[in-house]
Each structure stands twice: as C-alpha cells, then as structure tokens.
Amino acid sequence: MGKSTILEALMRFCGAIESLYTAEYLRKPTHVDLQRLLKKGKMRGFPGMIGSIDLASFDTWIWHAFFGVPRAQNDLNVLAQSPVFNDVLQGKAPKVTYVVNRRRYDGAYYLADGIYPRWETFVKTVPRP
C-alpha cells in the first residue's frame, strides 16, 4: 500500500475508535468512577490505587492514556505533556485516605515502573523483593 493510503486508513481507524469508545473508556473519571476504582483496588490488595499508568485497568478503561509526542514516545516525554496529572499538580486531586501497615497515606496512586519520577502519586514495583 502507498503511504497516503496507509495514513488515511489509520486516520479512519483512529476516528472510529474515538467515536466508539470516548464516552465510556477514554474520558476523565467522575467521582463515582473513582470510588469504583478505589473499591476494586482495595479488594485486590491495593488500597488507594486508581490504576496502572502503563496499562489499561481491569475493565479496559484507559482514560489516562495520552498520545502525541512524535518520535519520542517514551514514558517521560509523554508524562511531561500529558494532562492526566494536571489536577494533581494544581492541588485538585481527589481526596483519598488509606492505611497500609498501620501508616496513614493521603492521595490516590498509580502503579508504575522504575522510569517514572519519584512523585507521591506513583508507587513503583519492587525490583528484588
């Protein structure tokens, strides 16, 4: 196929995905959505967790996905331009309190791998438990 045909097909595909899934899976969570995510995380042994920053959630909800950094699609470049954490940076993050090992924590978190910065909103995996 020619380059223009491939580009047109990709644009149509992306448009179809957006029109089909934006209303349910690609939108910012409501208060009710956040409560559901927190409940599910707690049931799975992760109190205070609202998702994984690199993966879709258990119900394929990828509202935190962000694309659009040409030729530099690594996690840090995407993070620098993504609106996902605007509420956190502006002090408007949802109020979440949870307890782990008798210690109280404030603020929801995402599971992340080692490349992400040391922000309170990221809980990283343990490389050698």
Evaluate if residue 69 carries a pLDDT over 60.
Answer: no
pLDDT grade, residue 70 (50/70/90)?
low
In 3D space, the residue among 65, 90, 89 whose CA is nearest the CA of residue 78 turns out to be: 65
The pLDDT tens digits of the residues spanning 76-88 come to 776 777 777 777 7
Domain boundaries, the chain: 27-124
Evaluate if residue 44 carries a pLDDT over 60.
Answer: yes
Report the phi/psi class of residue 63: left, alpha or beta, with left for phi > 0 and alpha for psi in -120 to 50: alpha
> Which of the two residues, 11 and 24, has the higher pLDDT score?
11
Q: In angstroms, rounded to a whole number, what is the distance separating the alpha carbons of residues 91 and 14?
A: 33
